Structure 1
Amino acid sequence: MSECFKVVLSQTAPAAHWGNADVSFAADTVTIHVKSSQPLRQIQMAARKLRSQGINTIAFSGEGWDADRQWSFYQGFVTAKGGHEVQWTGAEVLVRELQQRAASAGFARDLINDTPENLYPVKLASDTAAWLSSLVPEHVSYRIISGDELLKNQWIGIHAVGRGSERQPAMLELDYNPFDTDAPVAVALVGKGITFDSGGYSLKSSEGMLGMKADMGGAATVAAALGLAIQRGLKKRIKLYLCCAENLVSGHAYKLGDILTYKNGTTVEVVNTDAEGRLVLADGLQAASESGARFIIDAATLTGAAVMAVSGQYNAIFSPQPEVLALTQKKAAAVAENVWPLPLDPWHKDACPSAYADTANSRAVKGGGPGGASNAAGFLWRFVTPQADWLHIDLAAAFEDNATSLWAAGATTHGMLTIAELLGNE
């Protein structure tokens, strides 16, 4: 058997001795018999089957391999352990696009799958800055604010969530400006970068805590999307804000009943230390608002409620502007990613009341109570300037705790392409 298998697509049924199988073999050739009304899903599932059978190197061959089909196969083929090789096919521009996607997704996947011991807040910020700077050194500048310097800059949420750890919390402020002038900021990206989430004093179970190295998936996703857009030749000024912390228990950790006073004057009672993502994002959204960006996008592995609502097959999206939701759905469909809008009304801002502060960071019930994903979005809305369009992405599809028929265990990078499309030059 050859080390590299050619993979071809066919609309015909396999030979009778293969039964109802949708994958057949002949020497060094694998044929995927596309018989579904959802070919991308079938192709991705076929890729998972091939990888699980020990096939590590493939080359696409024959006709029908457009960008969506090659990328769907790739997403099913990669694993956290690596050791895969895919040889793309098609015109030079198509191959280059797929190579750029793979490089950007690989950056995000490596971060998300890394151990929390290796990837701590300042390292997440510095590794991201180094990678984006390496793409276009002349157009990227940044600073990392860490430790008590966060308080001097009034980034109260990141500091509070991260102060329980011996490893300092940090905010990455990165500026991509492809122009020679002080151009206006077109888009500001904000990512949740919780490198490990124990839940704090609202302690998670062992089962619930095991996958929490992935709680920085929002930061990795927005950074990878920006990197992909830069490689595509993006001609817009973009600012990136990563809100990085470890949420741990110690004598220095923030506690239930604490009240945080944010830079914009909003006071927040902490009723659940495991609702920490929205506390750090509040700082990032204020920084994004200060940038003057016309469009603000944040992404976060924020709520279990979003997973319950849309499953791990979709990312949930929220915006006060219907046109933003429509644009996001259009852009996601163009790259075969799945998004679904959930409710966000002005009254969601007040869905977590407090007797002691302007708002609580959650409801003091398990999972935040009914409508938890919308309530979290309503909380974040308090920190977004009304002068900007705003999109909040709750990344329900960013990570798989266990292997499925579509994904290997670990990071999926689902959402990266949607955000990169939203950054596009048109």
Structure 2
Amino acid sequence: MTQPSLSLVDTDPAELAVDAIVIGLHSQPEEDGALLPAAGAESIAAAFDGKLTATLALLGASGAPGEVTKLATLGTVAAPLLIAVGLGNEPTGPAPDLETLRRGAGAAVRALAGSRTVALALPSADDADAAPVLRAVLEGALLGGYRFAGYKTKPQKGRRDPVGELRLHVPDATDETALAEVRRAEVVARAVRLTRDWVNEPPNVLQPAEFADRIVAAAEGTGLEVEVLDFEALKAGGYGGIVAVGQGSEAPPRLVKLSYTPEGVSDPKRVALVGKGITFDTGGVSIKPSAGMWEMKSDMAGAAAVAATLLAVAALKPGVAVSGYLAIAENMPSGSAYRPGDVITMFNGKRVEVFNTDAEGRMVLGDAMARACADGTDYLFETSTLTGGQVISLGKRISGLMGSDEATGLVEAAGAVVGEPSWRMPLPDDVRKGMESEIADICQTNANLDRAGHMLQGGVFLREFVAEGVEWAHIDIAGPSYHTGEATGYWTKGGTGVPVRTFLQLIESL
């Protein structure tokens, strides 16, 4: 679906001639939960002659975060429909929590599907905090209304088109800082939405060659350098891991590299982003149970996030050199598939004894990470839907994070800013010891087929492919990359776009 147009307005919110106006609503615990219009809604509350909160309470509003209450204005203000979105308890500081704002804006815009023009009179902040508050509202609003176009042959009854135009009320619509945030939000949201589109595609449509072709097409005209290695080039180049995983499929694998070099920056910091792009994962010979296997179309979410991040980097033009490495394959069982017991020679020369063909992600990533280090980089950030152990340990919102202190610290800090949290996990020596092989350099999984510390095994394995002196982090997004429940906040069902915004925030911090 097309991204909504976005603009700033400084007209009195009560006088905005739009289809709907969105305000925030707080609860006041010290006042027995009495409702309080959030900052930005003053003129609208005044137009209701002091009766707004009482009316909203009668409609069931409580001010709980993300709660949406609709009220027909009947001419009280210019907009015919008022949406009050809960922002939680009355803030003690100058503005509500940024993630609460982000989720509230997303919930409100999604609830207004079918409206052509929507204005948001949500809280702003003083000069010191204005940019992050504005950024949170803009990103939430643009992402909350996302919907995958899909493949329905007939219009769905009752399904309304997403909002077409968003207007955000600010004190000064000509302020250059605010306008810069609008431009940035449009780029970032476009990258996240593209990631979601790719993840949501059916796997018979988005096979490796098609995925690579779409990435190349998206990069055309952006200034990014593009390199694509096909199956024959991968075999000739010694990419044993990608070749092994991809050889069981009739749709052969690809490695795509996207590169951005800043203009006018001497000796810039170099960042490599690596993403797992398994367009469908059956588990190969070590086949998965059939229940829920359809969700394995999202096993390319890491590569989708990295590719979309590079497209955003090309538009935002930071003073950092950034390269993206996308290891793309389909893991299928067949007469040509790799087997448990195989020994695979990886791009960096290490030999891996395979115990489980369903641990294919680390095989393709090992090659891509080794290639990134061979090309030269200061930082390497890899993201992948790597292990079910991440979901078991940390759930569906918190990514698993492993690696060197500096790199994991950067990821952790960036994720905290944008609302994509991660949790640092260890890389214990005893886990590495359990992956010793009698015939190769390392086993792909625990040599005793023990799933204890499953998430940690993935990180320990990937560490073998990071060159000395490179700061690195592994971000396991098995849970956060795909949302199977009902829409919530700015997450809709399906692909989420995690961790695109973390990567962009991290690159800006460098």
Residue 58 of structure 1 deviates from its aligned partner by 5.7
Residue 215 of structure 1 deviates from its aligned partner by 0.5
* Alignment counterpart, residue 348 of structure 2, candidates 247, 264, 274: 264
Residue 346 of structure 1 deviates from its aligned partner by 4.7
Q: In the alignment, is the contact (CA less than 8 A) between 2:282 and 2:333 conserved in 1? A: yes
- Percent sequence identity is 30
Q: Which residue of 2 aligns with 1:17?
A: 58
Q: Which residue of 1 aligns with 2:438?
A: 355
Deviates most, 44-53 or 309-318:
44-53
Residue 418 of structure 1 deviates from its aligned partner by 0.8
Q: In the alignment, is the contact (CA less than 8 A) between 2:259 and 2:324 conserved in 1? A: yes
Q: Determine if the alignment matches structure 1 residue 6 to structure 2 residue 85.
A: no
* Alignment counterpart, residue 201 of structure 2, candidates 86, 110, 114: 114
Q: Which residue of 2 aligns with 1:295?
A: 379
Alignment partners' CA distance in 2, 1:45 and 1:248 = 41
Q: How does 1:169-184 map to 2 (within 5 A)?
A: 169-179=253-263
Q: What amino acid is the match of 1:19?
A: G
Alignment partners' CA distance in 1, 2:368 and 2:326 = 7
Q: Determine if the alignment matches structure 1 residue 70 to structure 2 residue 138.
A: yes
Q: In the alignment, is the contact (CA less than 8 A) between 1:315 and 1:415 conserved in 2? A: no
* Alignment counterpart, residue 156 of structure 1, candidates 227, 240, 264: 240
Give secondary structure in 1 for the equivalent of 2:291. helix
Q: In the alignment, is the contact (CA less than 8 A) between 1:185 and 1:239 conserved in 2? A: no
Q: Which residue of 2 aligns with 1:384?
A: 466
Give secondary structure in 1 for the equivalent of 2:20. strand
* Alignment counterpart, residue 199 of structure 1, candidates 283, 296, 305: 283
Q: What amino acid is the match of 2:162?
A: H
* Alignment counterpart, residue 406 of structure 2, candidates 319, 323, 330: 323
Q: 1:181 to 1:413 in 2, by over 3 A?
A: closer
Count matched residues: 420
Q: Determine if the alignment matches structure 1 residue 239 to structure 2 residue 323.
A: yes
Q: Which has the larger radius of gyration?
A: 2
Structure 1 residue runs of 5 or longer lacking an equivalent are none
Q: Which residue of 2 aligns with 1:126?
A: 213
Q: In the alignment, is the contact (CA less than 8 A) between 2:407 and 2:473 conserved in 1? A: yes
Q: What amino acid is the match of 2:364?
A: V
* Alignment counterpart, residue 143 of structure 1, candidates 223, 227, 240: 227
Q: In the alignment, is the contact (CA less than 8 A) between 2:146 and 2:193 conserved in 1? A: no
Alignment partners' CA distance in 1, 2:467 and 2:243 = 22
Deviates most, 90-99 or 108-117:
90-99
Q: Determine if the alignment matches structure 1 residue 307 to structure 2 residue 360.
A: no
Q: Determine if the alignment matches structure 1 residue 84 to structure 2 residue 162.
A: yes
Alignment partners' CA distance in 2, 1:383 and 1:62 = 50
Residue 378 of structure 1 deviates from its aligned partner by 0.4
Q: In the alignment, is the contact (CA less than 8 A) between 2:300 and 2:385 conserved in 1? A: yes
Q: In the alignment, is the contact (CA less than 8 A) between 2:101 and 2:140 conserved in 1? A: no
Spell out, residue by residue over 1:299-353, the C-alpha distance to the aligned partner (whole angstroms, 9 max, x if none). 101111011111111111111x222222222222222221111112455433323
Residue 59 of structure 1 deviates from its aligned partner by 2.2
Residue 126 of structure 1 deviates from its aligned partner by 2.5
Q: 1:242 to 1:215 in 2, by over 3 A?
A: same
Q: What amino acid is the match of 1:360?
A: C
Residue 255 of structure 1 deviates from its aligned partner by 1.0
Q: What amino acid is the match of 1:114?
A: E
Spell out, residue by residue over 1:192-240, the C-alpha distance to the aligned partner (whole angstroms, 9 max, x if none). 0101111101111222311111100000111222222222122222222
Q: What's the Cα RMSD here?
A: 2.7
Q: 1:198 to 1:3 in 2, by over 3 A?
A: farther
Residue 355 of structure 1 deviates from its aligned partner by 3.0
Q: In the alignment, is the contact (CA less than 8 A) between 1:188 and 1:291 conserved in 2? A: no
Residue 67 of structure 1 deviates from its aligned partner by 1.6
Deviates most, 11-20 or 241-250:
11-20
Q: In the alignment, is the contact (CA less than 8 A) between 1:348 and 1:379 conserved in 2? A: no
Alignment partners' CA distance in 1, 2:447 and 2:426 = 21
Alignment partners' CA distance in 2, 1:18 and 1:240 = 50
Give secondary structure in 2 for the equivalent of 1:331. helix
Q: In the alignment, is the contact (CA less than 8 A) between 1:157 and 1:280 conserved in 2? A: yes
Alignment partners' CA distance in 2, 1:51 and 1:274 = 37
Q: Which residue of 2 aligns with 1:393?
A: 475
Alignment partners' CA distance in 2, 1:71 and 1:129 = 26
Q: In the alignment, is the contact (CA less than 8 A) between 1:351 and 1:378 conserved in 2? A: no
Q: In the alignment, is the contact (CA less than 8 A) between 2:425 and 2:456 conserved in 1? A: yes
Q: 1:35 to 1:58 in 2, by over 3 A?
A: farther
Q: What amino acid is the match of 2:58?
A: H
Q: In the alignment, is the contact (CA less than 8 A) between 1:148 and 1:159 conserved in 2? A: no
Q: Which residue of 2 aligns with 1:30?
A: 83
Spell out, residue by residue over 1:361-417, the C-alpha distance to the aligned partner (whole angstroms, 9 max, x if none). 113778x61111111000000011012100111113011233254432200112111
Q: In the alignment, is the contact (CA less than 8 A) between 2:222 and 2:311 conserved in 1? A: yes
Q: 1:78 to 1:58 in 2, by over 3 A?
A: farther
Q: What amino acid is the match of 2:255?
A: M
Residue 19 of structure 1 deviates from its aligned partner by 2.8
Give secondary structure in 2 for the equivalent of 1:423. helix
Give secondary structure in 2 for the equivalent of 1:187. strand
Structure 2 residue runs of 5 or longer lacking an equivalent are 1-16, 27-34, 37-52, 73-80, 92-96, 125-133, 151-160, 171-177
Spell out, residue by residue over 1:5-59, the C-alpha distance to the aligned partner (whole angstroms, 9 max, x if none). 3222233354331234443222212111322476734762684477468556562
Q: Determine if the alignment matches structure 1 residue 344 to structure 2 residue 427.
A: yes
Alignment partners' CA distance in 1, 2:295 and 2:248 = 20
Q: In the alignment, is the contact (CA less than 8 A) between 1:272 and 1:364 conserved in 2? A: no
Spell out, residue by residue over 1:111-135, the C-alpha distance to the aligned partner (whole angstroms, 9 max, x if none). 1111111111122222213213332
Alignment partners' CA distance in 1, 2:303 and 2:181 = 27
Residue 277 of structure 1 deviates from its aligned partner by 0.2
Scaled by the length of structure 2, the TM-score of the pair is: 0.76
Q: 1:185 to 1:54 in 2, by over 3 A?
A: closer
